[in-house]
Amino acid sequence: MHTAVLSNAARHTIAMVLAGGKGERLHPITLNRPKPFVPFGGKYKIIDFVLSNLFNSGLKKVYILTQYRAYALNKYIKDSWSKWVGLGEFYDTISPETNNECEEWFKGTADAIFQFMRILESTDADYVTILGGDHIYKMDISQMIANHILNKADVTLAALEVPREDAQRFGICTVDEAFRVQAFTEKPRDPATIPHRTTCFASMGNYVFTTGKLIEVLKKGRRRHADLDFGQHVIPMMLEDGDRVFTYNFIENEIPGAGPVEKGYWKDVGTIDSYYDANMDLINIVPQLNLYNYRWPIITSQGNFPPATTVFDEDGRRGQSLNSFVCGGCIISGSTVRRSIIGPCCRVNSYSLIEDSILFDHVEIGRHVQIKRAIINENITLPDGAQIGYDHEADRKQGYMVTPSGIVVVT
């Protein structure tokens, strides 16, 4: 679509990011942090991906709705993202406790937006995009907004094509040949396929609303449901009322500089196993999500750390990292890191071996330590000779969690 149309669409849109999730299925790494604030890819936070998508799409009027253990995430947004906007632009966090109209926590995705109705009623934006803060993907959101305008839609849902056998895990849109939604069903047993295809349209939880219609449906829906939710209540209600509900096919989204292997990449990192797998995707030889595409950068707070370094080059005591991400401030001292992600300011001491693992920031690994297929939480110190990931029964006795697929989580 024409660049001027995309730019105009972004200028007349505000964004609201739902970033209050507890991430209970990601326990224990979410015990002390909300899911969007979980580290990802070493130096990033999960929320950096949606905020980077907005920033790169030209959307710089953004409210981030936080809730569970919000202080650290609010501070992170203030110290980093809030600095990168100009006059009339903002990346601003708002939480239930700062809402004078209602002291309650958000009870549903749409209820979270309803609690800040004053923002919607006072904005001069024509469109509101509502996005989840806990998925890993790249998306030019201005293209979805332009599609919404073209269809004269009341709401547009970002949709992911999924095989029919996987559709039972999602909210599925039944669509006609123009991609207008005819029905929306949560986790259907018999999912409808896209016309002339064998795949189904799964909702990604990203929406573009025309502002006036959003205000109208939130007020109407809140009278019926205290726990107002977009998938369960709002979208079915709009279909019932004959509103113009459309899907936007995520596979059609074009990212500058992206290769074909990246097309349609989207991960819900809601479990330990899916979180681990998505991290490991980054260090493939040809990654499905390329962090080295400077035309669509993933932006984050850059710590004032020295470069990562490897020290010692002797037989049996050689500092080396292979097929890995190693962040600033790290020292790999006479040890080997292989197919792993090492967060900022970690130290791996001599004669140790780290394989297929994720270390959060400020982890200290002693000498003669062996770790494989593990996630090590921040500020952990592992003593000399520790072994993790080789004997799961021993890991459990140490108090570590072991997932069914064999990922060991040390907190």
Residues annotated within a binding site for alpha-D-glucose 1-phosphate:
171, 186-187, 203
**Per this entry, what is the length of the chain?**
411
Within the chain, how many helices (H) and strands (E) appear?
Answer: 10, 31
Q: How many Cβ atoms sit within 10 Å of the Cβ of residue 385?
A: 12
Q: Which has the closest alpha carbon to 310: 341, 336, 332? A: 332
Q: Are 110 and 207 in contact (CB under 8 A)?
A: no
| Rounded-to-integer distance, Cα 191 and Cα 202, Å | 10
- Bind-site residues: 171, 186-187, 203
Torsion angle in degrees (nearest 10) through CA of 91, 34, 104, 240: 80
* Lookup result for tokens 């770790």: 371
Q: How many Cβ atoms sit within 10 Å of the Cβ of residue 19?
A: 30
> What SS3 state is found at 276?
helix
58-to-10, 27, 51, 357 alpha-carbon distances in Å: 6, 34, 11, 35
Q: Are 132 and 148 in contact (CB under 8 A)?
A: no
Q: Are 325 and 338 in contact (CB under 8 A)?
A: no
